[in-house]
């Protein structure tokens, strides 16, 4: 089986440790508060309505990518892209895929 992220990768170690994940999200939340470029996260209202749910959803997607085989990871990535594309379309903006500090699957 071909994994999306190699079994010995530091990425797997980071996403497999709850304390590290919480530390990353604390930093991302601080950056989020200062960065106007992520205002789209408030568009759907899902983040302010359930911030912990969004955190767990994001971690779930990340783990489905990091610990999956290539096909499973690509399916999760396509799902995220479709969600973001729909949000951007409803905002009347073109969707430009790329990394964000804190993707909460809208």
What pLDDT is recorded for position 98? Answer: 60
71 contacts 1 by C-beta, under 8 angstroms: no
Using only C-alpha atoms, the chain has a radius of gyration, in whole angstroms, of: 14
Confidence grade of residue 97 (pLDDT, cut at 50, 70, 90) = low
CA distance 7 to 98: 24
3-state secondary structure of 69: strand
For the stretch 32-65, pLDDT in tens is: 777 766 776 777 888 778 888 888 888 898 899 9
pTM of the predicted model, to two decimals?
Answer: 0.73
Where are the domains positioned within the chain?
Answer: 10-30+38-91
47 contacts 41 by C-beta, under 8 angstroms: yes
CA distance 98 to 93: 15
């Amino acid at each position: 089986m071909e994994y999306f992220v190699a079994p010995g990768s530091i990425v797997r170690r980071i996403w497999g440790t709850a304390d590290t994940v919480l530390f990353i999200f604390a930093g991302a939340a601080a950056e989020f508060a200062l960065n106007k470029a992520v205002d789209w996260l408030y568009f759907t209202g899902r983040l302010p309505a359930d911030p912990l749910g969004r955190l767990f959803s994001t971690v779930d997607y990340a783990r489905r990518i990091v610990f999956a085989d290539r096909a499973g990871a690509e399916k999760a990535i396509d799902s995220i892209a479709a969600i973001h594309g729909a949000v951007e379309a409803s905002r009347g903006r073109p969707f430009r895929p790329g990394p964000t500090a804190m993707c909460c699957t809208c």
